[in-house]
Amino acid sequence: MLYSSVTDAIGRTPLVELQHIRAANGPAIYAKCEHLNPGGSVKDRIAKAIVERAEKEGLIEAGSTLIEATAGNTGIGLALMCAQRGYKLVCVMPEKMAEDKRQALRALGAEVIITDNAPPGDPRNFQERARQISEERPNTFWTNQFANEANPNVHYETTGPEIWEALDGQVGAFLAGVGTGGTISGVGRFLKSKNPQTQIILADPVGSRLTALINEGELGEDGAYLVEGIGSSQVPQVFTPDILDRAISISDQDSFAMATRLIQEEGLLVGPSSGTIVAAALQYAEQTTVDAPIVALLPDSWDRYWSKTLDPEYMAQLEQSTD
C-alpha cells in the first residue's frame, strides 16, 4: 500500500485470535493490535484526530507549539504529527513513567518536562503543569487529551467500526483500560449502537479507583500500582462510565505475567497494560456464557518498557519487595 505520509498508516490495525491464551470452554479471544500503529500505540489515533481538528478550527498554525500531559504514548503520536506538520511539542510526564518513553520523545524532538507524581488538583500534577505552560508560553495549543472530544470520537468513527466489520458483527464483549477513557467510551458507544447486548468491560489495575465506580457506583480507595497508562484516581472528562457493564481488577503481578505470555506464547510485542487487559479478558472468558468472540485491545508496544517491566532484574526486585 502507498501512503503520502506515515501518519496515513494510522489505524486499520489487525485483529488477531489468541491461540494459546484462551479459556478451555469459553469463546475465542481476539487482540486488537493497536501496538502496530506507526507510533507504537492506540494513541496515534487520537493524536492525528486532535491535530487535524485543531488545524480545521484554526487553533494552530505554522510555528505553533503543542502542549500535552502524557504517560508517553500520546506524546509519541503527537511527535509524529508535529514532525510531519512542522510544529513544536512539549510533553509533561509524571515521574513514575519509564525512562524509555522519555528517551523516545526526546529522540523525536519533543521537549520533555518531568513532574512529581502529584494527585489531580495539585499544581505539581502533570495535567495542571501542562495547562500552566500553555498559558505562560506564546503561540501554544494545549491538546488536552483528557477533555478533547476528538479523542472518543475517533474511536467511535474508526476503532469500533474496524472491530465490528472484522468480526461480521459478532462481538460478545470488548475490553480496554482507561487512561483518558476515550478508547473504551468511543468503541463502546459504537458497539452498543450496533448491538446493545455487547458487553463493554473495563480492565483496571488494582489500586485504580475506577473499578468500584463501575461495579458499585462510586469511586473506590486510591492505591499505588506500577502498570502505566491505565487506571485513575478520578473520572476523566471524556470518559462515559454509564456505557460500561462491568469492571475487572487485575494486579501488577498478573499484568506483568500476562504481558510476558503475550510476548513469548503469542508473539505479540506489547507492554504491561496489554497484560492487564488480556488477563481480564481471560477471566471474563472463563466465567461468561457469551458465545460470540471477546475483543481485548492491546494499547502499546514493548519498546516502552525494556528498562522496567521487561527487565528480569527489575522484575526480580519487584517480586522480592512484594513477598
108 neighbors 94 (Cβ within 8 angstroms): no
Per the structure block, which three cell numbers stand in for 322? 512484594
**Residues designated as active site:** 43
Q: 1 in helix, strand or coil?
A: coil
Please name the helix (run of DSSP H) or strand (run of DSSP E) that holds residue 16, with its range, or none. strand 15-17
Pick from 8, 40, 79, 91: nearest CA to 304 = 40
CA-based nearest residue to 277, from 178, 171, 131: 178
DSSP 157: I
Instruction: Give the 3-state DSSP-derived string for 32-80, with helices as H, strands as E and coil as C.
Output: EEHHHCCCCECHHHHHHHHHHHHHHCCCCCCCCEEEEECCCHHHHHHHH
Distance CA(317)–CA(51), nearest Å, equals: 41
Is residue 105 within 8 Å of 75, Cβ to Cβ?
Answer: yes
Using CB atoms within 10 A of its CB, is residue 73 exposed (0-12), middle (13-18) or buried (19+)?
Answer: buried
Question: Are residues 275 and 310 in contact, defined by beta-carbon separation less than 8 angstroms?
Answer: no
| Burial tier of 189 (Cβ tally within 10 Å: 0-12, 13-18, 19+) | middle
